Amino acid sequence: MKSRWIAVALSMLLGAFCSVSQAQAPASVGNSRLDAVIKSGTLRVCTTGDYKPYTFLRPDGQFEGIDIDLAKSLAASLGVKADFVKTTWPHLMSDFLADKCDVAVGGISVSLERAKRVYFSHVVMVDGKSPIARCADVKKYQTLAQLDRPSVRAIFNPGGTNEKFARAYLSKAHLIEYPDNVTIFDQIVKGKADVMVTDTSETLLQHKLHPTLCPVNPGKPLQYGEKAYMLPMGDNVFRAYVDQWLHLTKATGAYQKVVDKWLK
């Protein structure tokens, strides 16, 4: 009887060890999106196309921007072509989880809420939230307290971190939801809104595109932020490849050349 119990105990321990080993074992390349992308010859890239300087859908149907160039570089490193899939900020996560793409790019902010459902690559760019307003009004919006007033018309685009910031920190302001992130800054120029809080990098670019608009304290963002690429949850092999590609792209200076192309 004693020997039987010993045999049963050893069997249970062996089973538990095998289960833990299997759970901890990394995914093989054959089970990774990496292998699937190489076999298909295409890297499917979700992007909104409405967020300069990262992603913009031109009238001729072609995408351009910092992350568009970098996505093409990633695809080239795999020996495949990049196929860009148009999405929107409200549907970005659902489209990604519906397997419409292998990676999502385009100035995507890292958030803990998103990290519950997707992997993020290493940080592509450190950014933050800053206001942009008509240059004549910059002194009015130096602090969060000055922004969060009933007399301030704060505009935002729905579905992303800009909306989340506006609703969390500008509850007393008069909030204006505007669906088109391409023409939203025209609303401030025309006097239909007073200010928008968005990523600092975007405020710098929009100042170039709209000289009457000025970033407010871009060197001191109201909120720290990071940008990265969305990747499939649980696929450690694919994430490791993307991270290594990003590391080498930055180390060789290729990344900075792309950024300078669009921001300088």
Residues 55 and 105 sit within 8 Å (Cβ to Cβ): yes
Whether residue 211 lies inside any domain: the answer is yes
Supply the angle between the helices 66-78 and 33-40 in degrees, to the nearest 10.
Answer: 80
Same structural domain, 217 and 92: no
Buried b / exposed e along 229-239 (16+ C-beta atoms within 10 A): bbbbeebebbb
Whether residue 28 lies inside any domain: the answer is no
* Distance, CA of 174 to CA of 194 (rounded, Å): 10
Same structural domain, 140 and 214: yes
Same structural domain, 100 and 143: no
Residues 185 and 210 sit within 8 Å (Cβ to Cβ): yes
pLDDT at site 24: 43
pLDDT at site 264: 78
Q: What is the pTM of this model?
A: 0.76
Cα end-to-end span (Å), the chain: 80
Whether residue 147 lies inside any domain: the answer is yes
Same structural domain, 200 and 248: no
Same structural domain, 95 and 155: no
Whether residue 24 lies inside any domain: the answer is no
Same structural domain, 168 and 211: yes
User: Nearest Cα to 48, choosing from 83, 84, 80?
Assistant: 84
Same structural domain, 184 and 247: no
Residues 119 and 110 sit within 8 Å (Cβ to Cβ): no
Whether residue 141 lies inside any domain: the answer is yes
Q: In this structure, what CATH number is given to the domain that contains residue 99?
A: 3.40.190.10
Same structural domain, 110 and 94: yes
Same structural domain, 85 and 206: no
Q: Average pLDDT per run of 10 along the chain, which is 264 residues long? A: 43 42 48 96 97 94 97 98 96 97 96 96 94 97 97 95 95 96 95 96 92 96 94 98 98 96 85
Domain region containing 146: 129-224
Backbone angles phi, psi at 84, to 5 degrees: -90, 130
User: Nearest Cα to 82, choosing from 66, 94, 69?
Assistant: 69
- Give the chain's domain count: 2
Same structural domain, 100 and 40: yes
Same structural domain, 207 and 259: no
* Distance, CA of 161 to CA of 91 (rounded, Å): 13
Alpha helices, H only, 148-263: 161-169, 184-189, 200-209, 236-251, 254-263
